[in-house]
Structure 1
Amino acid sequence: MVSSMTFVVFSLLIIVGLIFTNVLAVNLYETSSISRTATSVSSHLDENCGKSTVQINQSPTDPLPSGIPTYTVEIVNTCVTDCAISNIHVACGMFSSATLINPNIFMRLSENDCLVNGGNPISSGGVISFKYANTFSYPLSVSSVVCN
């Protein structure tokens, strides 16, 4: 009888110990999850507005009837909060096109300096797109922006 009672008490102690260990592990996991989330959110908040939130995508499209290659460019404000970005300047080399591009959309101001959207703001998630024709594609990268 004593030995069965000892076994029951010992078993209860093990069960209580396992429950306590499990609760402790869950609390540690929740704390570490909160820490990771806070780090993730704060690092994202640092990038709410800036050059890194403007993405330039460029892809080849069907050539002109004359055979000159054409390219489609999309300039996207990837900011997830309500932030408009204006005065977007793009490093664009000696950009030129065999087809006319609306200068209010994309215009070369000088060597290696092109202005997007006439300097006007692009809202969060906004996209400016245009096509150009040239024998080669130009490397395009954001050089400066103004956050509104």
Structure 2
Amino acid sequence: MGGEACTREDVAVYQGATAPLPNGIPTYTVEVLNACASGCAVSDIHVACGWFSSARLINPRLFRRLRFDDCLVNDGRPLAPGQSLSFQYANSFPFPLAVTSLSCY
């Protein structure tokens, strides 16, 4: 281990509304970005997500709820500096998503 320590602020979570499903359920696109300026990779990213659920299937390797208010990003695998992943979910309202913990190296 070495390099710069990273913080929750080094991972940005962006969320925006997208076109609804054919049945009218709103959809949202989420992007999780490693914005670490010092070039650190981050892994084991956990996000506060309430009772997150989606009417559209999400690849559990990208994002899944482990328990109430604890979702795991990227199956716990690293996101390199500047790397991002995105997924869409469908629900009648957007969930507030905020990074709660991560590991860096």
- Scaled to the shorter chain, the TM-score interval is over 0.9
Q: Which residue of 1 aligns with 2:41?
A: 84
Q: Which has the larger radius of gyration?
A: 1
Shift of 1:82: 2.2
Question: Unaligned 5+ residue runs, structure 2?
Answer: none
| 1:68 aligned onto 2:17 | no
Name the TM-score, length of structure 1 as normaliser: 0.67
Distance in 2 separating the partners of 1:72 and 1:101: 11
Question: Unaligned 5+ residue runs, structure 1?
Answer: 1-45
| 1:114 aligned onto 2:67 | no
1:140 to 68, 75, 97: 97
Query: Higher relative contact order at CA 8 Å, sep ≥6: structure 1 or structure 2?
Result: 2
Whichever structure has more strand as a proportion of its residues is: 2
Count how many residue pairs are aligned between Structure 1 and Structure 2.
102
Computed over aligned residues only, the root mean square deviation of the Cα atoms, in angstroms, reads: 1.1
Moved segments of 4+, more than 4 Å:
none
One-letter identity of the residue aligned with 1:113: D
SS of the residue aligned with 2:81?
Answer: coil
Distance in 1 separating the partners of 2:14 and 2:104: 21
Distance in 2 separating the partners of 1:79 and 1:86: 12
Whichever structure has more helix as a proportion of its residues is: 1
SS of the residue aligned with 1:58?
Answer: strand
2:80 to 123, 127, 143: 123
